[in-house]
Amino acid sequence: MKKYTLETIVFLTGAITMIFEIAGSRVLGPFYGTSIFVWTSLIGIIMGSLSLGYWLGGRLSVLKADKTILAWILVFSGLFVLITAITNNYFLNGIMKYVSGFRLRIVISSIALFAPASIFFGIVLPYTVKLRILNIEHSGATVGNLYALSTIGSIAGTFMAGFVLLPSMGFLNILYSLPLILFLFSLILFLQEKNYIHILVSVASIAVLALFWIKTTSGKKSFIDVDTQYNRVIIYNSTDKTTNRPIKMLLINDEKSSAMYTDKDSGLVFEVLRYYKLIEHFKPDFKKVLMVGGSGYAFPKYFLKNYSGKKIDVVEIDPQLTLLAKKHFNLPDNPNLNIYHEDGRTFLNRTDKKYDAVLMDAYKSVLTVPFQLTTKEAIEAIYNSLTPDGVVLANIISTFNNETDYFLRAELATYKSVFPQVYLFAVQYPDPDEKQMTYFQNFMLVGIKSGKEFSTTSVKPELNKYLSHLVKTKIPDNLPVLTDEYAPVEYYTSKVLK
């Protein structure tokens, strides 16, 4: 073991760096979503921090090179990971409160939470190179071998984090495990150098970390906090402000994604879901429906209870969400319900089924629809999956303000480029006053495949209520149609989050 200790440390540091980075997306996700802005900040800050660490490690190795210093580098890197684990919620809440600007918040958060540990991760490699070089003649081979080990470790850490660790352990357990590994290897180095005072420091650090971890994770929680391969999911009990009825809420990356009443599992908690009932108006003879986005399966459950004999297919990319819905949200097994676990776009691209209605309710993060479901090519795939007089209903979150409603305008233009008839219904304020222009609200976009004109009134009082929310205000269509080649969806939605 002693012979390959340094190589093992280099390999593990490479792996830990990538695990730390991927777990970081779950640290930031509940506050900022998992958009391209989060990943850009994480990757950029960590790469920059590693570069600074490489430079510092090189300078430090010139001054003095021994295993005791390397052990202390591991201790400090573990300490900063532990600080991130302990303080991330407090720090991010403070940033949300005191820093304005969505992208600035992400950058500051990434620097504060992930730069310190990453700098020390970067120091490890050049410092270990100095310790391992025996003579100048073999220095090139030594450097190459250690850099290869570090890269292989990074690759292993990437796959382990995404495919195994996050779904099985959750990000917080990961953040407590990484310091433990780093402290253990510092202890090994101290033992090899026979630095007994330092050995006591490492043993004490490991003991304190273990006790803190046990205390943190052993308490009974009043909520469920789960990391899946795609999302951080939180489930908790609450009260619906509109009805004062008890509900169970499902959060995906801190976004309210689904809910159900717990006094009696009946009705739809979220008002926007009730607008999907407009299929009764625009396609009254529907028999088969596709829904893209399952989450807590609130509307599919309503569909099965209220539309007897009709069939619904649901495409949900995250299979663990389906398991959670069955366990906590009363999702039944039903022959009229088929569930497909894949990306909505890939399903639309390959399916040869025909549906009377397609319901779009897939969200990636805060306000953001996955770009591949917003483009002209995606909407053409929806169009092709519909029966001749089929209808699509798509949930969009936006404002009426032209300074922030970029995505709404672009998506309207894109749907109009494919469907001959497009209607837009505002769930909260169809005719907003000046104050309500900047209010975030749900819009239900309806695209009709046939050229048949529909009345915007109904003999059914409930449907008539929804139809009365038709947006009559002229919304500018001065943004280009979204395409697979050009779809700045996250940039458009970030306008709302300034």
The strand order across the sheet containing 223-227 reads 223-227, 232-239, 246-252, 255-261
**Residue 415 within any structural domain of the chain:** yes
Boundary-marking domain end, from 194, 219, 244:
219
Looking at the domain assignment, is residue 227 inside a domain?
A: no
For residue 257, being part of any structural domain is answered with no
Domain membership of residue 387 (yes or no) is: yes
Same domain for 68 and 145, yes or no, is yes
Domain count, the chain: 2
Do 368 and 477 sit in the same domain of this protein? yes
Same structural domain, 273 and 189? no
Q: Give the residue from 219, 251, 276 where a domain finishes.
A: 219
282/183 same-domain check: no
Which residue(s) pair with 337 in the sheet? 312
Residue 170 forms part of a structural domain: yes
Question: What per-residue confidence (pLDDT) applies to 493?
Answer: 81
Q: Strand 386-398 and strand 441-448: pairing?
A: antiparallel
Same domain, 337 and 477: yes
10-residue mean pLDDT profile of the chain (498 residues): values are 82 96 88 82 96 94 86 92 89 86 89 96 93 68 87 94 84 88 88 74 71 60 79 90 93 86 91 96 96 95 95 96 95 96 95 97 78 95 96 92 87 95 92 74 94 86 94 84 91 74
Domain at 101, CATH number: 1.20.1250.20
Any idea what the CATH number is for the domain that residue 314 is in? 3.40.50.150
Please give the C-alpha separations between residue 20 and each of 17, 48, 161, 177, in angstroms, as whole numbers.
5, 15, 9, 11
Instruction: Give me the pLDDT at residue 136, please.
Output: 58
Query: What residues contact residue 140 under an 8 Å CB cut-off, 6+ apart?
Result: none
My answer on whether 322 and 392 are in the same domain is: yes
The model carries a pTM of: 0.81
Residues 273 and 190 in one domain: no
Question: Order of strands, edge to edge, in the sheet holding 421-426?
Answer: 337-340, 311-315, 288-292, 355-360, 386-398, 441-448, 421-426
Distance CA 247, CA 261 (A): 4
Q: Are residues 387 and 468 in the same domain?
A: yes
Spatial distance between the Cα atoms of 394 and 319, rounded to a whole number of angstroms: 22
pLDDT value for 228? 85
Domain that holds residue 324: 266-494
The answer to whether residues 103 and 30 belong to one domain is yes
Looking at the fold, whether 213 and 283 belong to one and the same domain comes out as no
Do the domain assignments include residue 451? yes
Asked if residue 132 and residue 47 are part of one domain, the reply reads: yes
Asked if the structure places residue 236 within a domain, the reply is no
If asked whether residues 375 and 445 sit together in one domain, one would say yes
Cα–Cα dist 7/2, whole Å = 10
Model pLDDT, residue 435: 66
CA neighbor of 373 nearest in space, from 402, 411, 341: 411
Tokens 């539309």 found at: 307
Contact (CB, 8 A) for 325 and 358: no
Domain assignment present for residue 253? The answer is no
pLDDT confidence of residue 254 = 72
